[in-house]
Amino acid sequence: MEPYVIKKPVPYYDQLYHTIKKMILDGVYKPGERIVESKLAKELNLSRTPIREAIRALENEGLVLLDEKSRVIVYSPTVEDVEDVYQCRMALESLAVKLTIQRASDHEIGEIENILQQADRKIGQKDYLKDEVIDLNVQFHNLIIQFSRNNLLQKHLNSIKSRIHLYRVLNFQGENRDRAIYNEHKEIFDWMKQRNEDKASEAMVNHLVHDYHHLIEVLKSQSG
């Protein structure tokens, strides 16, 4: 019966969700900026119902907030938010590295290495899209989390993945950040390839600590 299955079109709210989310992550909508539902509905020639549904999904992910007058405001990271997220990441991703070293096959370790090699080649190009390197960084962390084979660990990190991605985009600001991040990923991986759990875990924590401090400086420069 598979050839006869009717595939449903993607609902408007789902398309809107992904579009607005990308606009937030790309900086089209700035932190603290208001998203006016009626204006968006008029621009897109849609009713406000799918827009409300998309906004609700983004609110659940923490990318938009409702103020005291129920206006939709783009999430603006605070130092406290960043600290909370990075504390969770340090605890969970350092564990994920150890579990991956214990449980991943040589082929799976090779998959992680392949992502690193792609990132190295991409950064070495004269003109490359930053989004492509960010995506490779996402894959590096996600594969480590996936190969940990700990469903609860994955669930906890998945619950904050949108904020993690937003912070990751902000973290790329600054001279030579792409290469600095790659070098730290390479150190983590080198210990993983040697199946050294403690050193790989320590390198992951150090990487996230550096990310955290850099992001705080970025936020301070934006607020200043």
* pLDDT at 3 (0 to 100): 59
Query: Which tens digit of pLDDT belongs to each residue from 159-202?
Result: 999 999 999 999 999 889 999 999 999 999 999 999 999 999 99
Query: Which tens digit of pLDDT belongs to each residue from 88-142?
Result: 999 999 999 999 999 999 999 999 999 999 999 999 998 888 889 999 999 999 9
Which ranges in the chain belong to alpha helices (H)? Answer: 12-25, 37-44, 48-61, 79-103, 106-124, 130-147, 151-158, 161-171, 177-193, 197-223
The pTM for the full model equals 0.87
Task: Spell out the domains of the chain, with CATH numbers in brackets.
Answer: 2-74 (1.10.10.10), 79-223 (1.20.120.530)
